Structure 1
Amino acid sequence: MLGDEVDGVPGIQHVVPGFGRKTALKLLKKHGTLENLLNAASVRSVGRQYAQDALIKYADYLRRNYEVLSLKR
């Protein structure tokens, strides 16, 4: 969700104004994983309306970035 500046993978803060590192970390900490957060956002409110809308709209983008950044063994 936060991306990786070094590897050129932008996080949500680059596509959603106002959705910064603090919001992302707070939501991830509360829900444990990105997938848990995205699943929760799809069925109920997880935060302020802008965050809710962004998580729903960019769910595929966030999943794809997570997959790119994950190390496959």
Structure 2
Amino acid sequence: MLGAQRLGFEAKNCAVFEDAPAGIQAGEAANASVVVITATHKHQIEISHPAVPGYDALKAQQNGDGRLSILGSTR
């Protein structure tokens, strides 16, 4: 929430990329969109969020309105 605030956004308008259960829970509590990075997990975790193996699976693209879209392959 602090990061969003410092950037001038509400957390609900942000995406959180996390690989730790505590970070996933913090993103959920902040009402942010959560994407789980699975590369660091040696075991299956139960999540209800999109997941990607790592950041190299993602690409940011600026839309005509100046907002970013994140493109990539999620599970």
Task: Give the TM-score category using the shorter length.
Answer: under 0.3
User: Which protein, 1 or 2, shows the higher relative CO under an 8 Å CA cutoff with sep ≥ 6?
Assistant: 1
Larger Rg: 2
Greater share of strand: 2
Greater share of helix: 1
